[in-house]
Structure 1
C-alpha cells in the first residue's frame, strides 16, 4: 500500500507544479488554491508512504515521478521542446525510479 500512496503522491506533485505554472506567479486565485491543495496532498501522502518505504528510496521515487511527469506535461500542454536528448534524460530518470523500486522490495 505504501508504494501505491507514493505513486499517488507523485501524481499530486505533478498537479502541484502544473497549478503553480497556471497560477502565473500565484496571481490567479483558483490555481493558487489548487497548488496549495495539490502540494499539501502530495506531502501528506509522501509522509504516509515513508512510514514503510526507506526515506532515500521514497524521496527519490517521489521526485522522479514529479520530474518526469512535469517534463511530459510541459511537452503536452505548454509546447515545450521534445528534443531527443531531453527524452533520453527523462528515460534515465524513469530507469532510476524503477531501479530504486526493484532494489527496495
Structure 2
C-alpha cells in the first residue's frame, strides 16, 4: 500500500511537470489550477508513503520517478534528445531507485 502510494506520488509529479509545460505554452489559468491539484496529490501520496517508507528512501524514489518520468515524457511527446548517454544516465537513476526499494 505504501509503496504503491509512493509510485502514485511520483506519477503525479510527472503529470505536474507536463502541466507546467502546458501552462508555459498557453498561459491559461486552468493549467495553474490543474498544476496545484497534481502537485497536491503528489504530496498527499508522498505523505502516505512516509508512514512506512523511510524519508530518505521515499524522497529519492519520488524524485527519481519524477526525473526519469519527465525525461521519458519529453522524449516521447516533446521531441527531446534520445542521446545514448542520456538514456544510460536515466537507466542509472532507475536502477538506483530499484536498488533503494530492494534494500528497504
Same-fold call, TM cutoff 0.5: yes
Question: How big is the shift at 1:70?
Answer: 0.1
Does the alignment pair 1:74 with 2:74?
Answer: yes
User: What TM-score, normalized to structure 1?
Assistant: 0.95
Residues 30-59 of structure 1, C-alpha deviation per residue, up to 9 Å, x if partnerless? 221111110010001101100110000000
Gaps of 5+ in 1: none
Change (3 A) 1:26 1:61: farther
Runs of 4+ off more than 3 Å: none
Question: How big is the shift at 1:27?
Answer: 2.1
Q: CA separation in 2, counterparts of 1:15 and 1:52?
A: 24
User: What TM-score, normalized to structure 2?
Assistant: 0.96
Gaps of 5+ in 2: none
- Structure 1 match to 2:94: 94
- Structure 1 match to 2:60: 60
Q: Aligned with 2:24: secondary structure?
A: coil
Residues 47-81 of structure 1, C-alpha deviation per residue, up to 9 Å, x if partnerless? 11001100000000000000000000001111111
Q: What's the RMSD between the two structures over aligned residues?
A: 1.2
- Structure 1 match to 2:22: 22
Paired positions, count: 104
